[in-house]
Chain A
C-alpha cells in the first residue's frame, strides 16, 4: 500500500481531474438517453462518493448508507410537504438528518471492528427499515410518500429558476455534485484526510501516534451521512416519491425490497474499480462505475 503516495496531489493533476469531472458532468446527459437517467446516475454517484469516504479512505465497510439515504429523502420530503420549506432548507435538513443518524450509527458501530462492525451496520440498517415501514403515519409505510415537490430556486419572493424541467434539474444536481466533489477532495487532501488514510492502513499505529481514531471515524461517518442524506433528498425530488421500498431504479416496483436497494448501491460502489481509494480519481470513479 505504501508504494503509491496518494498525497499531496500535484496542482496540475488536480486541475486535470477537475476538468475531467466537469467534462463528464457535461457529457453525461448527451450520452445517456434521458436527463432523468443522467440525474439518477449523478445522485447515486454522490451517494457512492459518500460511501467512498468511509470504505475507500477510512476502510470502513458500512451497510448503513441506506439509512442515511432514506433519512435524507424522508426528511426533505416531510419538510417540503408539511412545512412548505424551500429547496435549500430541505436539502440542509436532509444533510442534518443524514449526519445525525450517521452519528448515532457510527458511534455505536465503531465500538467493534471487522465483520462485527459490518454486521452492526447491517443490523441498524434493518432496524431503520423497520422503523420507516412501521411509522406509516409519517412515512406512508408501504405506499411511501407521494407527490414530493421539487421546489424552485427562489430569492425572497422572486423565482430564480424552476427545476420542473428534467434538464434544468440535472444541471442543478450536477452543480451540487461538483461542489460536493470539490469539497470532498479538499477534505481528503487535508490533514484530516491523511489521518483517515492512516487509520485505514494501520489503525493501531494511528492511535499510537496519538490520534483519537474513534473521534475521526465518527466524524467521517457524519460527513458521509450528510452527503448521503443530500443524495437521498435529491432522489426523492427526482422521483417525486419517497419510500423505504423504492430506491432501486427500474424493476423494483413489483418486488419491494430494501435489501436489494442496499446491495444494488453497493454494486455501484464495487464497479468503481479496484484501485479507487489510492488515487485522486477515487472520487470520479463512482461516476464512471455507474455509467459502465
Chain B
C-alpha cells in the first residue's frame, strides 16, 4: 500500500514537471509583460494536437517534440504582433476577456480539425517499458519526463540568469520604461518573451500527449487544471513558485486519483482559493 502511494507521488512528479513547464511560461509572460494570458492552456492543447499529427505523419515523437513547440511559438508570435500587443495597456480584466476569446477560437478550431474525440499518442519506442528496482516499478517515460523537464527548466533558468536576453527580461519586469529608454526595442523583447512562454506550453503539450492523449475538453474524468491556477498557487511572476506550484498540483492530483478521484479538482481549486485568501501573492510571490 505504501508502495502505491510512493508510486503515485513519483507519478505526480512527472505530471507536476509538465505543469511546471506550462506555469513557468505563463509566469514569465506575467512577470515581464504584466499580461494575463488565459489562452495558455489552449496553446498547451494545440501542442498536444500538433504532436499527434506529427507522430501520425512521421512516426517520430522526437521530431514532434522539436517541431510542435516551434509551431506553437510561431503562432503565438503572430498573435502577439496582431492582437496582444494592442492590449498590454488595458486592465487585466480586458486581457482575460481577450485571451479567453483566443482560447475559445483555438479550442473550437482544434475540434473542427481533429474532431471532438480525444486522440492518443503512443509512447516513443525508446521509452517504453518500466524501470524495476527491487519490487518497485516505474515507467521509463515518466522518468524521462522528470529529467527532460528538469533540464528544460535548468536551461530556462540559465537563459534568464546568465544571458543578455535574460537580463533584459528581468530588467524589463522591473521597469519597462527604463529598459526601453536605454535603447532596447522593448516590443521585440515582448514578442520574443510571449513566444517563448507559449512555446513552453506547446512543449508541455507534446510531453503530455503520450500520457493522456490530446483531449479537447476538460471534464471530471480528465483533470487538467487551468495553468493560471498553478501560477496563482505558486505566486505570479515567480520562477520557483511555478516549480513548486506545478509539483504540488501534480502530486496532489496524482494522489487523489488513488484516494478520491472526483475530488482532485476540488482539492486543487480549494487550495487555490485558500492561497488567494490567506496569501494573496501566492506561496512564492512578492507583493
What is the total number of residues of chain A having a CB less than 8 Å from a CB of chain B?
30
Q: Find out whether the CB atom of A61 lies under 8 angstroms from the CB atom of B96.
A: yes
Which of B137-145, B161-169, B217-225 lies at the interface with chain A? B217-225
Q: Which of A108, A123, A263 contacts B272 (CB 8 A)?
A: A123
* Assembly CA distance A112 to B228 (angstroms): 16
- A108-142: which residues lie under 8 A (CB-CB) from chain B? 108, 111-112, 114-116, 118-120, 122-124, 126-127, 130, 133-134
What B residues does A119 contact at CB under 8 A? 228-229, 232, 272, 276
Between A59, A116, A260, the greatest number of chain B beta carbons within 10 A of the residue's beta carbon is seen for A116
Q: Find out whether the CB atom of B219 lies under 8 angstroms from the CB atom of A120.
A: no
Name the residue on B nearest A126 (C-beta).
Answer: B269
A255 is an interface residue with CB less than 8 A from chain B? yes
- A62-89: which residues lie under 8 A (CB-CB) from chain B? none
B280 is an interface residue with CB less than 8 A from chain A? yes
Write out, one digit per residue, whether chain B residues 187-221 have a CB within 8 A of any chain A CB (1) or not (0).
Answer: 00000000000000000000000000000111110
Write out, one digit per residue, whether chain A residues 240-267 have a CB within 8 A of any chain B CB (1) or not (0).
Answer: 0000000000010011110110010011
What A residues does B236 contact at CB under 8 A? 115
What A residues does B287 contact at CB under 8 A? none
State how many angstroms separate the Cβ of A45 from the closest Cβ of chain B: 19
What A residues does B100 contact at CB under 8 A? 263, 266, 270
* Assembly CA distance A130 to B261 (angstroms): 11
What B residues does A254 contact at CB under 8 A? 116
B147 is an interface residue with CB less than 8 A from chain A? no
What A residues does B269 contact at CB under 8 A? 122-123, 126-127, 130
What A residues does B120 contact at CB under 8 A? none
Q: Could you tell me the dominant secondary structure of chain A's interface residues?
A: helix
Q: Quick one: given A133-B220, A266-B100, A270-B97, are A120 and B273 in contact (CB under 8 Å)?
A: yes
* Assembly CA distance A7 to B182 (angstroms): 46
- B133-172: which residues lie under 8 A (CB-CB) from chain A? none
B259 is an interface residue with CB less than 8 A from chain A? no
What is the total number of residues of chain B having a CB less than 8 Å from a CB of chain A?
32
- B234-287: which residues lie under 8 A (CB-CB) from chain A? 236, 262-263, 265-266, 269-270, 272-273, 276-277, 280
- A30-82: which residues lie under 8 A (CB-CB) from chain B? 59, 61
Q: Find out whether the CB atom of A123 lies under 8 angstroms from the CB atom of B262.
A: no
- B101-148: which residues lie under 8 A (CB-CB) from chain A? 101, 103-104, 116
* Assembly CA distance A160 to B92 (angstroms): 50
Q: Find out whether the CB atom of B276 lies under 8 angstroms from the CB atom of A116.
A: yes
Name the residue on A nearest B94 (C-beta).
Answer: A61
B36 is an interface residue with CB less than 8 A from chain A? yes
Q: Quick one: given A127-B273, A263-B100, A266-B100, are A116 and B217 in contact (CB under 8 Å)?
A: no
Q: Find out whether the CB atom of B273 lies under 8 angstroms from the CB atom of A257.
A: no
* Assembly CA distance A259 to B93 (angstroms): 19
Q: Find out whether the CB atom of A256 lies under 8 angstroms from the CB atom of B219.
A: yes
- Contacts A134-B262, A263-B104 known; 7 new A-B pairs at CB < 8 A: A59-B93, A120-B273, A124-B273, A126-B266, A127-B269, A133-B220, A256-B219
Nearest 6 interchain pairs by C-beta = A123-B273, A126-B269, A123-B269, A130-B266, A257-B217, A61-B93
In the assembled complex, 26 residue pairs joining A and B whose CB atoms fall closer than 8 Å, in A order, are: A59-B93, A112-B277, A112-B280, A114-B92, A115-B232, A116-B280, A119-B272, A120-B276, A122-B229, A122-B269, A123-B269, A123-B270, A123-B276, A127-B273, A130-B265, A130-B266, A133-B220, A134-B262, A255-B116, A255-B216, A257-B217, A259-B217, A263-B100, A263-B103, A263-B104, A267-B101
